[in-house]
Structure 1
Amino acid sequence: MNEPSGAYAADELRARVETATTGTPYRYRWTERGFDLVVDVPLPGGRRVHTYRVVLLPAERTFTLTDVVHTHERGPFGTTRRTVETGRARYRTWSRSLDGSERHSFSSADGHRLIRGVTEELGWREVGPATEKGALIAGAVGGLVALGILVGLAIAFWP
């Protein structure tokens, strides 16, 4: 069986994800390099918008998945705090109305599973974003520097 390649494969993936999100709280948004899934996360005293940003590399049939989380929280005396987190976000929230009639829960893992499920079915492979690779390299270099310092101190203070 011939597998679709290039732009056709990317269009097929986009269409499958858009179909998979129909009737769910996720809003599908087409982007030039892939797509975004956006969902509003209920928070007591604020709101959070979680975006799953997917960049497709059709020639290699690979993709990167990055979470972008915008949080708006209301504080005392009418103050607001806004934060943006980018990278891998794994969290779970629960909330309930004061009278207990409405309950909301959210897990960021659900969106990851949805995206990975569709991409796996179509034979796409996930690769880490460049920022993740940079963090791994920086961590390895930092570990080697710390090890070198410890060895140097052990030699300097050895009886």
Structure 2
Amino acid sequence: MNEPSGAHAADELRARVAAATAGTPYRYRWTERGFDLVVDVPLPGGRRVHTYRVVLHPAERTCTLTDVVHTHERGPFGTTRKTVETGRARYRTWSRSLDGSERHSFSAADGHRLIRGVTEELGWREQKPAAQKAALVAGAVGGLVALGTLIALAVVLWP
């Protein structure tokens, strides 16, 4: 089998993703460590920019996928609220113009599927980002502490 390796494999993956996003709302942006897919998400009373940040590890043929979501919302009296969320975003939005002529929908899962489809087709594997791994460990430890506390209470309070 004649598979591309190293930098050539990363270039092929980048080219495939760029081709897959042509003619879509996703904007492909090359980065030093991988690529970003950026899409504007319509929101009533504001705007959201969703970035799928992909970091490639060509030697292992693995990648990490992190969502970065910038939200700008207009509030009462001309106030604005800006937030940035980083991690794994799972959400869907629907909106419609006041006269009903325009409809917009967005699902964060669509971008994930697009990226995973190309990476899997080329034999790449996705790794969880370090922050997501840490959150899983913290959740497991918290669950064990809660279980231990419940067992200790049951032992102490058992008649």
TM-score (norm 2): 0.97
1:139 counterpart residue number: 139
1:154 aligns with 2:141: no
Show the 5 A alignment for 1:22-61. 22-61=22-61
Letter in 2 for 1:131: A
Taking the aligned partners of 2:126 and 2:93, their CA distance within structure 1 comes to: 26
Letter in 1 for 2:105: S
Find runs of 4+ consecutive structure 1 residues off by over 2 angstroms: none
Letter in 2 for 1:51: T
Taking the aligned partners of 1:143 and 1:92, their CA distance within structure 2 comes to: 29
Task: Compute the displacement of 1:64 (Å).
Answer: 0.7
> What is the total number of aligned residue pairs between the two structures?
159
Over aligned residue pairs, what C-alpha RMSD do you find? 0.8
Taking the aligned partners of 2:158 and 2:110, their CA distance within structure 1 comes to: 54
Taking the aligned partners of 1:153 and 1:117, their CA distance within structure 2 comes to: 49
Task: Compute the displacement of 1:52 (Å).
Answer: 0.3
Q: Percent identity?
A: 87
Partner of 1:7, secondary structure, is helix
Taking the aligned partners of 1:15 and 1:82, their CA distance within structure 2 comes to: 33
Write the deviation string for residues 77-135 of structure 1: whole angstroms up to 9, x where unpaired.
00111111111111111111111111111111111111011111100011111111101
Show the 5 A alignment for 1:7-156. 7-156=7-156
Write the deviation string for residues 46-72 of structure 1: whole angstroms up to 9, x where unpaired.
000000000111111011111111000
Taking the aligned partners of 1:145 and 1:104, their CA distance within structure 2 comes to: 45
Letter in 1 for 2:81: R
Partner of 1:16, secondary structure, is helix
